[in-house]
């Protein structure tokens, strides 16, 4: 049943949780505000001021021993006890709750052991209470270390992805764990899989179209790293009352662990014979790169701490994947350059025929089905190409079409419908013009994607499709995807286009310029390229080693998994931000102002009058930038917990100058907190202190002094001015 209330001037709203969505509705479903939860837990939305329950959902009688009607309007100590109430009150007071839930307490108000997680949404504190499965998880930190230790040894990307699925499968015990990778067009492809036994159907190499995961779900998955449905056949539990009684707004459960999911998604899972599902996001540079999807044939409940561990593992895996992708991209580029150089060298001696006859040839440079070289109307070919007549009509069409030296398409049949037999041409074409007037060409051809796809899939088992029909099955998804990519080749990659462009420059240069001089330049460019590659490779491996050391040493100071996860995530994010800043300058330096701002902006908007950031525009060399950013991160985290960022009135001033002292020039940075709570607590984490006092001196020969003045924390940091690479541009 679907009822749509049409409010003038408002967006259409479904008045029943999820309504009766159909496939075309997917992009409009209220997935962030479903108005209901899954029944394996209880949700209490609580006023942060008086801790009174404003909204509730779930079987409170079973888990808490009290009917839902008696919980609404009451303070939470009546249901969860004084201990949980005090814990929540403390978290609220210190502003430590986040929009993402984390584990806050365990409690046993009746016969059932419960885990309580909490997050902030729409001005309310949302408590999610789940029964703890037994046996409880033992040591999440060791588990993550074992998992990440195993996968980071993988040499190539394929091994890494296989390793990730195997580790997740072993840790969660689901029957099937798949890793989807998304292509540029949003379609998905199962690139790795681990199953619990041979009886489980394989989905390896399955493809499905972009529409199988609606755009709004993709956006949500980028910020929310885990989804979990322990029992696909569940009955949603409505939220009472359905909106916040004081604001009239629906509860945003985007990050909630208990969030009820789309019925379309549930039907898809049920059609596959899946009874429990969990998915983890792989996010790279802010984009949803892939998903780890876990399926089980029977309902399956996981400890919330195990899920937190898997979520952290997915984040660490994303970093590992990113490093491998960068390495592989760089290797491809270097390989293309080296083939290109030898092609150019043999072409210099033997002319254009060397492009096809020698080893390496044009197909080694750009792997394709076939390649044709057309010079003065003479066609030479290698591999699978269209016949001469088709190539002739293609080049006449290109003469009138090409604008610039290069043309690429993966939909050639649609692009040139007018030429004879267009439907028999291969759909992928990369054309290079290699003369001044467009008449001579190099043409590479790619076949239809569907001819190169491996997944056959098993015929679907006999089953009764759900009310939306049989479209929601892997077989039908695959067919839909095949329809979408019919008449298309795989897309040409940016590296391929770049390689072809460079080759064109070389070919033209040979024709147009002094050959000897050019060869010498090529030679020195090659040597330079090799050095750059070795340095890039070294940087990636060294960064992975630092992450490894960070994963190990963060454990020393953490008291529990939640703290370990939050602090490690924070440090990794800080490191990633610095890397982003450095990437923008090709690893020459990072602007000091941006380093300071990026750490503080997590807690206060920039421009906030309580923040005072001042100093000359200077850039720091990479090593100093990375270490200083980690130190600033510890100072900011500490200020948010105990210092001036923990109160509304608190102020922070960060000021830097360059001055001469002890015979050398120093960059002096003062971090001064004031108007915060009375300072008594020393910097909390042993790790933070170690970074400040030891790593700072060890890594960059700096000097740090931390003092706890009654007005607030003061930290003096001195860095040798030799670490400044240059005044900041602009």
State the minimum distance, in angstroms, from the CB of residue 623 to other proteins. Answer: 8
Region near other proteins per CB under 8 A, out of 236-244, 428-436, 545-553, 577-585: 545-553
Region near other proteins per CB under 8 A, out of 16-24, 473-481, 588-596, 694-702: 694-702
- Contact flag: residue 553 with other proteins (CB under 8 A): yes
Beta strands in 211-366 (DSSP E): 226-229, 237-238, 276-284, 287-296
DSSP 421: T
The radius of gyration of the chain's CA atoms, rounded to the nearest angstrom, is 30
Contact assessment for residue 383 and residue 370, using Cβ atoms and an 8 Å cutoff: yes
Q: Which uninterrupted H or E stretch holds 43?
A: strand 41-46
- Round to whole Å and give the CA distance between 57 and 654: 46
* Residue (491 or 720) nearer to other proteins, CB: 720
Site string for other proteins, 86-125 (x = CB under 8 A): ----------------------------------------
* Residue (77 or 699) nearer to other proteins, CB: 699
Whether the CA torsion 558, 559, 561, 567 is positive or negative: it is negative
- Round to whole Å and give the CA distance between 338 and 720: 41
- Round to whole Å and give the CA distance between 409 and 489: 8
- Contact flag: residue 547 with other proteins (CB under 8 A): yes
State the minimum distance, in angstroms, from the CB of residue 627 to other proteins. Answer: 8
* Residue (157 or 302) nearer to other proteins, CB: 157
Distances (CA, A) of 702 to 626, 639, 658, 698: 13, 22, 14, 8
Our measurement of the distance from residue 622's CA atom to the centroid of its chain's CA atoms, rounded to an integer in Å, reads 24
Beta bridge partners of 446: 428
Contact assessment for residue 51 and residue 39, using Cβ atoms and an 8 Å cutoff: no
Q: Number of residues in contact with other proteins, rule: CB under 8 A?
A: 28
State the minimum distance, in angstroms, from the CB of residue 360 to other proteins. Answer: 20
- 315's torsion region: left (phi>0), alpha (psi -120 to 50) or beta? alpha
Site string for other proteins, 639-678 (x = CB under 8 A): ----------------------------------------
Considering only 96, 548, 557, 684, the residue that binds other proteins (CB under 8 A) is 548
Considering only 529, 699, 703, 711, the residue that binds other proteins (CB under 8 A) is 699
* Residue (505 or 697) nearer to other proteins, CB: 697
- Contact flag: residue 539 with other proteins (CB under 8 A): yes
In the sheet that 428-433 helps form, which strands lie side by side, from edge to edge?
378-383, 370-375, 441-446, 428-433, 406-409
- Contact flag: residue 149 with other proteins (CB under 8 A): yes
- Provide the b/e sequence for 55-73 (b: ≥16 CB within 10 Å): bbbbebeebbeeebeebbe
- Contact flag: residue 546 with other proteins (CB under 8 A): yes
- Round to whole Å and give the CA distance between 58 and 240: 9
* Residue (428 or 589) nearer to other proteins, CB: 589
- Contact flag: residue 330 with other proteins (CB under 8 A): no
Considering only 79, 117, 152, 477, the residue that binds other proteins (CB under 8 A) is 152
- Round to whole Å and give the CA distance between 672 and 655: 8
* Residue (74 or 550) nearer to other proteins, CB: 550
Region near other proteins per CB under 8 A, out of 196-204, 246-254, 279-287, 693-701: 693-701
- Contact flag: residue 528 with other proteins (CB under 8 A): no
Region near other proteins per CB under 8 A, out of 170-178, 548-556, 557-565, 704-712: 548-556
* Residue (358 or 699) nearer to other proteins, CB: 699
DSSP 450: G
Considering only 240, 458, 541, 659, the residue that binds other proteins (CB under 8 A) is 541
Residues of this chain that bind other proteins (CB under 8 A): 149, 152-153, 534-535, 537-542, 544-550, 552-553, 623, 627, 690-691, 694-695, 698-699
């Amino acid at each position: 049943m679907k009822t749509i209330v049409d409010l003038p001037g408002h967006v259409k709203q479904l008045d029943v949780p999820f309504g009766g969505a159909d496939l075309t509705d997917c992009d409009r479903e209220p997935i962030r505000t479903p108005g209901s939860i899954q029944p394996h837990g209880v949700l209490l939305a609580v006023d942060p001021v008086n801790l009174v329950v404003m909204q509730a959902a779930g079987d409170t009688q079973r888990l808490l021993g009290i009917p839902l009607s008696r919980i609404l309007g009451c303070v939470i100590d009546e249901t969860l006890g004084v201990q949980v109430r005090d814990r929540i009150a403390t978290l609220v007071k210190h502003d430590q709750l986040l929009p993402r839930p984390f584990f806050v307490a365990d409690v046993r108000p009746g016969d059932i052991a419960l885990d309580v997680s909490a997050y902030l949404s729409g001005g309310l504190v949302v408590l999610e209470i789940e029964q703890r499965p037994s046996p409880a998880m033992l040591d999440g930190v060791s588990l993550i270390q074992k998992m990440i230790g195993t996968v980071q040894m993988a040499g190539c990307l394929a091994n890494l992805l296989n390793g990730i699925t195997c580790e997740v499968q072993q840790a969660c015990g689901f029957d099937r764990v798949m890793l989807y990778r998304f292509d540029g067009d949003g379609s998905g492809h199962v690139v790795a899989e681990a199953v619990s036994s041979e009886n489980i159907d394989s989905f390896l190499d399955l493809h499905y179209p972009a529409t199988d995961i609606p755009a709004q779900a993709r956006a949500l998955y980028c910020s929310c790293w885990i989804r979990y449905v322990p029992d696909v056949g569940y009955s949603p539990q409505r939220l009472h009352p359905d909106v916040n009684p004081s604001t009239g707004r629906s509860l945003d459960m985007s990050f909630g662990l208990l969030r009820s999911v789309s019925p379309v998604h549930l039907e898809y899972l049920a059609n596959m014979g899946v009874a429990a599902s969990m998915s983890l996001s792989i996010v790279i540079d802010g984009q949803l790169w892939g998903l780890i999807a876990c399926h089980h044939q029977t309902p399956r409940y996981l400890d919330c701490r195990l899920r937190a561990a898997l979520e952290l593992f997915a984040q660490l895996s994303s970093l590992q994947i990113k490093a491998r992708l960068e390495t592989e991209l760089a290797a491809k580029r270097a390989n293309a350059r080296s083939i290109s150089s030898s092609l150019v060298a043999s072409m210099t001696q033997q002319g254009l025929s060397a492009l096809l006859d020698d080893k390496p040839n044009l197909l080694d440079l750009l792997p394709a089905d076939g390649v044709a070289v057309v010079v003065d109307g003479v066609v030479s070919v290698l591999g699978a190409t269209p016949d001469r007549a088709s190539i002739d009509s293609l080049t006449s069409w290109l003469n009138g079409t090409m604008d610039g030296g290069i043309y690429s398409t993966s939909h050639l049949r649609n692009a040139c419908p007018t030429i004879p037999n267009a439907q028999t041409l291969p759909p992928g074409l990369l054309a290079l013009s290699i003369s001044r007037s467009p008449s001579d060409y190099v043409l590479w051809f790619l076949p239809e994607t569907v001819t190169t796809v491996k997944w056959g899939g098993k015929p679907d088992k006999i089953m009764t499709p759900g009310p939306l029909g049989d479209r929601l099955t892997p077989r039908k998804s695959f067919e839909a995807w095949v329809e979408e990519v019919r008449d298309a080749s795989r897309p040409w990659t940016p590296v391929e286009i770049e390689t072809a462009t460079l080759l064109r420059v070389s070919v033209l240069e040979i024709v147009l310029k002094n050959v000897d001089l050019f060869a010498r330049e090529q030679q020195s460019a090659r040597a330079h390229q090799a050095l750059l590659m070795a340095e890039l490779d070294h940087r990636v491996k060294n960064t992975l080693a630092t992450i490894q050391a960070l994963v190990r040493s963060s454990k020393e100071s953490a008291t529990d998994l939640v703290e370990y996860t939050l602090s490690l995530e924070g440090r990794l994010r800080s490191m990633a931000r610095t890397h982003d800043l450095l990437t923008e300058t090709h690893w020459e330096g990072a602007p000091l102002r941006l380093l300071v701002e990026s750490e503080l902006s997590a807690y206060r908007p920039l421009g906030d009058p309580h923040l005072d950031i001042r100093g000359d525009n200077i850039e720091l060399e990479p090593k100093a930038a990375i270490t200083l950013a980690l130190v600033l991160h510890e100072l900011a985290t500490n200020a948010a917990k105990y210092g001036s960022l923990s109160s509304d009135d608190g102020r922070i001033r960060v000021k830097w100058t360059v001055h001469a002292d002890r015979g050398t020039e120093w960059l002096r940075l003062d971090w001064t907190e004031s108007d915060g709570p009375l300072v008594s607590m020393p910097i909390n984490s042993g790790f933070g202190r170690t970074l400040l006092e030891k790593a700072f001196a060890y890594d960059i020969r700096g000097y740090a002094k931390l003092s706890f003045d009654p007005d607030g924390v003061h930290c003096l940091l001195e860095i040798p001015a030799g670490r400044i690479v240059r005044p900041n541009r602009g």
